[in-house]
Amino acid sequence: MLQQVMTAPGKIEFREIPTPEPQPGEALIKIMKIGVCGSDIHVYHGEHPFTSYPVTQGHEVSGLVEKLGEGVTTLTVGQKVTIQPQVVCGECYPCRHGKYNLCESLKVMGFQTTGVASEYFAVDAKKVTPLPEDMSLDEGAMIEPLAVAVHAVRRAGDVTGQDICVLGAGPIGILVAQAAKGMGARRVMVTDVSSLRLDKAKECGADFCVNTKEKDFGEALTECFGPDKADVIYDCAGNNITMGQAIAHARKGSTIILVAVFAGQASVDLAVLNDHELDLNTSMMYRTEDYAAAIELVNQGKVSLAPLISKHFAFKDYLEAYKFIDENRESTMKVIINVQAT
């Protein structure tokens, strides 16, 4: 079988290796679709601080169960599935208390351990999540980023009836906006400096879309939500400008949640954060219940994934996919790799 290997930043090889046999407790998955995310792009550019080379990428995935190892009774051959890419110790304090997304020795497939970018992938069956039969394989490959969004929304507790602001109209920002609406938020406002991306957010159901190059963020908050502003602000851009906007203009006593990987060292106004008694929280990946909720949101028609898919590439054109993303940063949302030849 073919396996993708990034040997150095910007360099990809395809190696012919034996198809693995599933061991007891494992499932062999025929990999169908792989999504390319922002973290993958950091690896491509040599800018991911926790990844070394060579590395086989891929963590947003859908596939079909090809074969089951001894003792696996929760899956069936031919079933549509996705894979949770976290590799955890199961023994540290977070793991023992159900917060394995915060495992002290967390490894993620495609970054610190082998990813799914191969024609077949053998994996612990406990990491395999079945998908509904009527869900497309493209949608299945996007359950992972949607689970990121679901977990982020849940970090604020129950958002039913709340007004939500999302900073950043990239794929995760738009998924957070959709997840919040799907989980009961009253109104959602999305900001960005790209009109193209804001148009996509509007297409995906955002109530208000604000270009902060053209409109003051503080004024926009009040115009959209009234004097009470937003109940929760999610920073899905992760830079000093967006976090500065959130802290400066959040309603006193409200909540800010950092979802994005922050770009560099933060420089934020802690005096205002303290004086306004703002809750600054964070969100890290997801857990099994977030995957289940993500699948349910798509099943119920509350989240639309298809509008976020910008382009497909063949498996052997992985490098071309990265070049396309670099050349079309503003307009590209999600690129999907078709692993199996049609």
Whole-number Å distance between alpha carbons of 54 and 13? 10
**Tens digit of each residue's pLDDT, the chain (342 residues):** 999 999 999 999 999 999 999 999 999 999 999 999 999 999 999 988 889 999 999 999 999 999 999 999 999 999 999 999 999 999 999 999 999 999 999 999 999 999 999 999 999 999 999 999 999 999 999 999 999 999 999 999 999 999 999 999 999 999 999 999 999 999 999 999 999 999 999 999 999 999 999 999 999 999 999 999 999 999 999 999 999 999 999 999 999 999 998 877 889 999 999 999 999 999 999 999 999 999 999 999 999 999 999 999 999 999 999 999 999 999 999 999 999 986
pTM (whole model) above 0.85: yes
Same-domain status, 170 and 88: no
Contact 153, 147 (CB under 8 A): no
Per the structure, the complete domain to which residue 30 belongs is given by 2-142+305-338
Same-domain status, 162 and 138: no
Q: Is residue 293 part of a domain?
A: no
Contact 81, 75 (CB under 8 A): yes
The domain spanning residue 203 has which CATH number?
Answer: 3.40.50.720
Same-domain status, 127 and 175: no
Residue 75: phi and psi, rounded to 5, are -130, 160
Contact 165, 81 (CB under 8 A): no
Q: How far is CA 150 from CA 31, 63, 66, 75, 285, in A?
A: 24, 22, 29, 25, 9
Angle between helix axes 143-154 and 171-182 (nearest 10 degrees) is: 60
Whole-number Å distance between alpha carbons of 27 and 79? 11
Q: Is residue 334 part of a domain?
A: yes
Q: What beta strand segments (E) does the chain contain?
A: 2-8, 11-16, 26-36, 60-68, 80-83, 86-87, 107-108, 120-124, 128-130, 163-167, 187-192, 208-211, 232-235, 255-258, 279-282, 309-314, 334-338
- CA 173 from centre of chain: 9
Q: What is the H or E stretch that residue 196 is in?
A: helix 195-203
Same-domain status, 171 and 135: no
3 state DSSP class of 51: coil
Q: Is residue 91 part of a domain?
A: yes
The domain spanning residue 17 has which CATH number?
Answer: 3.90.180.10
